[in-house]
Structure 1
Amino acid sequence: MVTIAAFRKLALSFPEATEEAHFEKTSFRVKKKIFATYDDKNKIACIKLSEIDQDVFSSADRTIIYPVDNKWGKQGWTLIEMKKVHKDLFADALTTAYCCVAPQKLAALVRKNENE
């Protein structure tokens, strides 16, 4: 299980990441673009992935990570059951989402830190 505190700490550790309200959810953004949201009521995260990354992460366990069931899912928006996901899998998925949305220069900083 990943708590909102752990989610927030990781999301805000990325360069220029901010936290803002998004309807009834919490959103995490880079350069005003959302890379993740959190639905506290249902304990579900939604992250933005490429179609390929979405398929890779969903293949781990489709009861934990799966595409949104509409046109948004076909655009890479992916749901994560926070009560079920392992913290390492979540960290990898959230980092990938950030890098998917962030400008290349910022994404490169995160990827560089992963390789060190």
Structure 2
Amino acid sequence: MADARDFRRICLSLDGTSEAPHFDHRAFKVKRTYATLAADEQTANIKFTPDEQEFKCMLAPEAFQPVPNAWGRQGFTTVTLANVSVEELRSAVEMAWRHAVPEKRKSRRTRK
């Protein structure tokens, strides 16, 4: 199962991603924030489209839940890191990254 080190490593491997403090979380962004890591490092929030969020939450409700407020209605989804494999986490993070990255970077998925 995945942990905070996996999450951070995956995020920072994606082209153009930087890490910065965001309230009590760590934010990962390119042009805009696409994921945050909670202070306790047990959960992360990932920005999906509402359709992607619905699919992930239906497919793996033990791992993915909508953030319970207006942010959740915009697609922000909490992932319980211990309940996903590293491969599932990478897929979810890459999906969110694609929405945040400027068009000209989308073809360069990871840093070389």
TM-score (norm 2): 0.90
Q: RMSD between aligned alpha carbons?
A: 1.4
The DSSP-based 3-state class of the residue aligned with 2:62 is: coil
TM-score (norm 1): 0.87
The residue identity in structure 1 corresponding to 2:64 is: I
Please, which runs of 5 or more residues in structure 2 have no aligned partner? none
Q: Does the 8 A contact of 2:42 with 2:81 survive in 1?
A: yes
Q: Give the fraction of aligned pairs with identical amino acids, expressed as a percent.
A: 27
The residue identity in structure 2 corresponding to 1:11 is: C
Taking CA–CA contacts closer than 8 Å with sequence separation of 6 or more, which of the two structures ends up with the larger relative contact order? Answer: 2
The residue identity in structure 1 corresponding to 2:6 is: A
How big is the shift at 1:42? 5.7
How big is the shift at 1:83? 1.5
Cα distance in 2 for partners of 1:56, 1:50 equals 10
Partner of 2:77: 78
Cα distance in 2 for partners of 1:7, 1:69 equals 22
Cα distance in 2 for partners of 1:42, 1:18 equals 18
**Greater CA deviation, 68-77 or 34-43?**
34-43
Cα distance in 1 for partners of 2:73, 2:11 equals 23
